[in-house]
Structure 1
Amino acid sequence: MSARRERVIVRRDVEVACVPDGTPAELPAGTLVQITQALGASFTLLVEGQLMRLAGADADAIGKPVPVVPVLAQAKDAEGVRTQAWQTLKTCYDPEIPVDIVELGLVYVCEVLPLDGSDDFRVSIEMTLTAPGCGMGDLLVEEIHEKLLALPRVAQVDLEFVFDPPWDRSRMSEGALLSLGL
């Protein structure tokens, strides 16, 4: 996230999701917005006091390039796939907090299991949200599925939200705490 917010004008009508409830909305061309976060594969915009999440695929609507997803080499084994899965999860961000979901401590489990009769793997994730009922959960699930299924040798992703133990600041990494000034 840059130290200053950048103001831009929306160049075309575009679908966004309101933060934190995830309600879909449309921003019409000509709307003045502030980019508050440009991390991972999405942008967080401030529009008349309301935060909104813009998918990276629609970056052209605010005059930005579509975020590039790095292409990873095919992992040799389950451990290599596990490493790539964790790296990929670190590219997923809470739209309100400029820290990835791994550093926030939202991911409790990431297992990589072989699929029967195949050289491919299933990634099984248990994670939580910063607050139960967070409307952004579905968008995070979609982003996680999309990114993990793009990895070589990952053919299935299972994601389960768990709320026991509940998330609190103690689950954050030291780096996350420092970056947020906590």
Structure 2
Amino acid sequence: MPGGERLALFAECVLAGLCTLVAAVPLVTLLPALGAGCAHVAAHLDGRSTALSTYPRRLLMSFRGGGLALGALLVLALAVLALDLVAVRRGLPGAVPVAVVCAAATLALLVVVLRAAAVWRPGGPCWPALLRDAAGRARTDLPGSLLLVGGLGMLAVTTWQLAPLVIPALGCLLMGGVAVERRLS
């Protein structure tokens, strides 16, 4: 891939990361925002339009098929896991095993969500079917799941070091999700 194409891909990842971050601010819109962001990166890779005006259309379409309701359930599940981790830090008996289970459950949930978002396309299958299929692929394609865990770790460390880097790091995570899913086909 020539340098100009690599720069264009990175620019689209930054744009997708920014749009996804803004769209996910209400939290319950996290799942549809991830789907729209991955679709935006995939559109660039497929040579389709990635004009800024296409992201809001993709986002609105991603609300269909249970995107908003499942996004709310996702936030609720992550909140419960976070509360469990807070309780563990308070010194409850058996804190280490509970912390390990909570961390593993959080990573597994995020990997499944990223895999589902990476294959979402406007007019495609609804979110429950995508999540169900993504859970199966997460189990059967462990190398791909570990790549996404590494991407999540990169996002966390990069953001921890310098908060404004969350935008390009999120875009790169979206691209990573699309790449992990495309390597299977």
TM over 0.5, shorter chain: no
Q: TM-score, normalised by structure 2?
A: 0.31
More strand per residue: 1
Q: TM-score, normalised by structure 1?
A: 0.32
Larger relative contact order (CA 8 Å, sep ≥ 6): 2
